């Protein structure tokens, strides 16, 4: 009997997902909970598991196609007439194949959990899968990785004359490329996280009327305090104390006093969020993720430092959960980490504002008594949804944050 596989709900606010890669092919035998596809949403990357044991009958949705939650993506043929003895027999057979996998943990186990399609293709071409580098989630080797390896091997072993014969088809393909391309240009289709970022940023710019403002803040006292304690902090806790926990605590408390920045536009109404959940941008080598620190107004500097360390580890190991990515109400971005001194951030739709913390730099500053002193200064750049709030509310919020940071005392 054919069973339907549908796009699962991958987060509380997720309404659709993009089939990034199919991990199976038509005709593959799969067990219940085996991964069928890699899916990208605007929140997180995840695998779609099989709900049944059986044979893949049809892949309804092509790769790089976005479908709504609950939509049909595949059919799987099951044998409902199998009795419990047959099911038990299958389960008893599985551990015999497992020892080599059980010995490995973490990324290693992910890389060696090959799909039936990958195993079949590798066997057909006599490929040692241990020699391949996977591009799938967690380093997983996918069917496309094997096909690319096979194609690469064919190219390396092909005579020079064969390469010349293939030239006409290459020329034909080049003619189909956009006319704006010139010799030597390369057109690379995007998918996965990069595509999700592109869609979300485009949506934000097209739907939200952005306005921007900035203040400069004297954080000399904060810098001196961190310099004094950062050594003992790392020795005691095992990870570094950055400036971000101080900024995040200050911002979270300011949002309690200025709730309009912790809001969102909803058609013809403004929704004021009860919870204060700070989204924080964390970059990897090839992507940007924005996990969430929930109930941020209940945390102190220690709590923020610990949570940031945990989220950074999860981001780099590609283990962020749906919960980690959902529910943000305001975004803070540490653009100063790569030397920026001023930026115009794009709002994380559907939030109403985003704050960029720029580089802390020492500059000569004129004091109240007209003397000049070297002070540690930072620019705070704020983008707002002009439908939700105006410049006055944005200015009051920034002045509040500025006052708290400049009044910082470790006492």
Active site residues: 386, 390
What secondary structure does DSSP assign to 246-293, as a single string? Answer: HHHHHHHHHHHH-GGGGEEEETTEEEEPSS--EEE-EE-SS-EE--EE
CA 113 to CA 128: how far, in whole Å?
A: 14
Q: 85: part of which helix (H) or strand (E)?
A: helix 84-93
What is the four-CA torsion angle of 388, 392, 394, 395, rounded to 10 degrees?
A: 180
Burial class (CB in 10 A: 0-12, 13-18, 19+), 389: buried
CA 378 to CA 243: how far, in whole Å?
A: 11
CA 403 to CA 76: how far, in whole Å?
A: 61
Q: How far is CA 67 from CA 16, 26, 236, 281, in A?
A: 6, 20, 48, 26
Q: Which residue has the tokens 């044998």?
A: 79
CA 50 to CA 139: how far, in whole Å?
A: 20
CA 48 to CA 19: how far, in whole Å?
A: 9
Q: 400: part of which helix (H) or strand (E)?
A: helix 391-406
CA 363 to CA 220: how far, in whole Å?
A: 11
CA 37 to CA 76: how far, in whole Å?
A: 13
Evaluate the omega torsion of the peptide bond into residue 114 and state whether it is cis, within 30 degrees of 0.
no
């Amino acid at each position: 009997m054919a069973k339907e596989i549908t796009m699962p709900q991958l987060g509380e606010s997720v309404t659709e997902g993009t089939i990034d890669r199919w991990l199976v092919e038509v005709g593959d035998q799969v067990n219940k909970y085996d991964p069928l596809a890699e899916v990208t949403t605007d929140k997180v990357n995840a695998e779609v598991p099989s709900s049944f044991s059986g044979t893949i009958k049809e892949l309804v949705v092509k790769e790089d196609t976005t479908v709504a939650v609950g939509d049909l993506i595949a059919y799987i043929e099951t044998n409902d007439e199998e009795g419990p003895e047959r099911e038990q027999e299958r389960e008893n057979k599985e551990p015999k194949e497992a020892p080599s996998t059980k010995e490995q943990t973490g990324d290693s186990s992910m890389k060696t959990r090959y799909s039936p399609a990958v195993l079949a293709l590798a066997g057909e071409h006599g490929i040692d899968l241990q020699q391949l580098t996977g591009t799938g989630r967690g380093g997983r080797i996918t069917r496309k990785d094997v096909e690319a390896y096979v194609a690469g091997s064919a190219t390396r072993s092909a005579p020079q004359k064969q390469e010349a014969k293939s030239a006409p088809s290459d020329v034909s393909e080049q003619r189909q490329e956009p006319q704006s391309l010139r010799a030597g240009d390369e057109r690379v289709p995007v998918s996965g996280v990069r595509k999700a970022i592109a869609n979300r940023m485009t949506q934000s710019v097209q739907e939200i009327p952005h306005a921007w403002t900035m203040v400069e803040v004297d954080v000399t006292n904060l810098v001196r305090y961190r310099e004094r304690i950062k050594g003992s902090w790392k020795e005691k806790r095992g990870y570094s104390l950055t400036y971000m926990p101080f900024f995040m605590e200050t911002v979270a408390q300011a949002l309690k006093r200025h709730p309009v920045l912790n809001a969102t536009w909803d058609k013809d109404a403004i929704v004021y969020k009860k919870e204060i959940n700070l989204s924080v941008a964390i970059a990897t080598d090839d992507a940007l993720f924005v996990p969430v620190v929930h109930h941020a107004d209940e945390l102190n500097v220690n709590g923020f430092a610990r949570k940031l360390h945990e989220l950074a580890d999860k981001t780099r190991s590609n283990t962020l959960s749906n919960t980690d990515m959902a529910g943000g109400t305001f975004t803070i971005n540490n653009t100063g980490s790569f030397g920026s001194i001023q930026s115009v951030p794009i709002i994380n739709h559907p939030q109403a504002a985003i704050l960029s913390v720029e580089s802390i730099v020492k500059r000569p500053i004129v004091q109240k008594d007209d003397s000049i002193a070297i002070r540690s200064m930072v620019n705070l750049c704020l983008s707002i949804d002009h439908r939700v709030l105006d410049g006055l509310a944005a200015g009051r919020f920034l002045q509040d944050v500025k006052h708290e940071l400049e009044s910082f005392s470790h006492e």
